[in-house]
Structure 1
Amino acid sequence: MASFNYTVDTKPMAEEMRSVSRHVNATTGAVVAMQTAVIIAEEKAADHVCNNVNKGFYSLIRSQISQKMAKLQSEVDSHLMQLVQQKNALLSIKNRMQKDYNMIASRYIKLFNGLNSNLKQRVFELDKPTIDFAVKEVDKVSNRSKYLTATIPIAQLESLAASQKIVASNVKYRGFNVIKSMRSFLFEMNTQKKLTDQILINDGRYTETATVYIPIVICECNRDKTDAGVEISVSEVELDNISKSAIKNTAFAELNQIEWQAKSSPNTEVKSEFSKLVSSSSKSQRVKDMATKLFQSNNYQTI
């Protein structure tokens, strides 16, 4: 049997394997580097997309909020303008009410001052007899003991009778003056009573409940389509504010039951008063003619 001896050299193979290992390691490093670069790129791309999405979302929300703010700001501005107009209207009403109050207050102050003066004068006239009596007669009455003191001179017996006659005469004179004063006082009291009866009302009708008719004026006007104003004026009589308010409230309660009826021509007195107002006005003739024309062409209604 033949035998063969082979000698195998592994050095080239080892070198090739080493070269392959180096290439594999280089490839592995390249793959790892590429994977790292891909991950970084993906992270950057994701961050870029997220940033763009967030920016777009916030821009959209900001634009919607800005639109809502602009809309609400316009509404606030319009309401603010309306409130300013209402404020100016209320201030004008307040000023007009203050002027009316001052005018009415000055009128009533003048009226009450006149009433106070008249009542003061009447009270003085009523107390005048008492004051005169106190001034003229009270001093004499309080000093009656001094005036009626009998003075008897100490003299002889012959002059005693004459002294007694003088004392009796003095007493009679003082008594006559007292009677005269009483008569004058009673006469003045009777006169004062008659004067009081003429001033004061002594009638049973005015001490009981009665029905009294007072004229009022109801003025209805339409300043615009949504405002229908009704004003009630009470006659300027001696009534307190409570009575006037009760009359106005009763009239307002009866307004719903009032029915207006058409009338072909105005009342003669109304037409005459309007003509007087137009003729006495200081406006131009064209304005007067237009006012007269509108008055004649108007539709009249009455109750």
Structure 2
Amino acid sequence: MADRVLIVEDNEALRVGIRLALDEAGYAVQEASSGEEAIRKLETEPCHVVVTDIRLGDMNGVDILKKAKEVNSEIEVILMTAYATVETAVQALRLEAFDYIQKPFEIEHLLHRVRTALRMGRMRGEIEFYQKIEYRNALGDDALVAESKGMREILGIIKKVAPTPATVLITGETGTGKELLAALIHFGSQRNKSPFVKVNCAALHENLLESELFGHERGAFTGAEKLRIGRFEQADKGTIFLDEIGDMSPTTQAKVLRVLQEQEFERLGSSGRSVKVDVRVVAATNKDLRIEVKE
């Protein structure tokens, strides 16, 4: 069965040109000249890749992206625009657009991106399939990893906490599998199709860690030549795993606390503009934080 591609473009000449190229490449092609028509087709006909303009007469291409992901999170979306802005690009990537192509473009470039999107979509589906198998096996009543009574108790707790929105702190000595437990919590939750982002808080200096977590604006500091999306934004709708959180400075802890309480933060150099996210936090440490607080 041929891979199915939906083209959403109100410029008829461009739409027909893309369709002919995709037809010749062997794809099953659908067309829509408006956002409303595109949504109708997304709701009624299967699709693997959507190629959509950003500026449509009746709708924004980002709305098409949202709808495609709502219908089927495995649909890959390629956005086209003649009016590229940093804000639109960031929004598109946060919503998991596969690519963002500026007009005019070579048709071969678009065909290459469609092929890559299909390949990546299949790989992502396989990874998610095996991750779910791994999660079920790890948490199964007869799993080898749960032979000891202590481990069975831990996995029992994970079974209960994974489907909830609760923030989780995992404590234990280095090498005891804290990252694996964090992954099991993520893949056992409703967020399992969204990113699982890992950060080692002990591996970076305080200033570098803040940039890593929250990102920075262009010109925020010497060497910041372009906007950088931080780990919290990358983990939007998913889970962020903060390993060795006990090594984080009080200043950075305060900023993380704001994310926990308000689900928002500011990029370095942002002049007070907040970024909203929907992120679950799972943290781990090899330290006794109660003793650390007293000291």
Alignment TM-score > 0.5, same fold: no
Structure 1 or 2, whichever has the larger Rg, is 1
Whose relative contact order is higher, 1 or 2, with alpha carbons under 8 Å and at least 6 apart? 2
TM-score (norm 2): 0.21
Q: Structure 1 or 2: larger strand share?
A: 2
TM-score (norm 1): 0.21
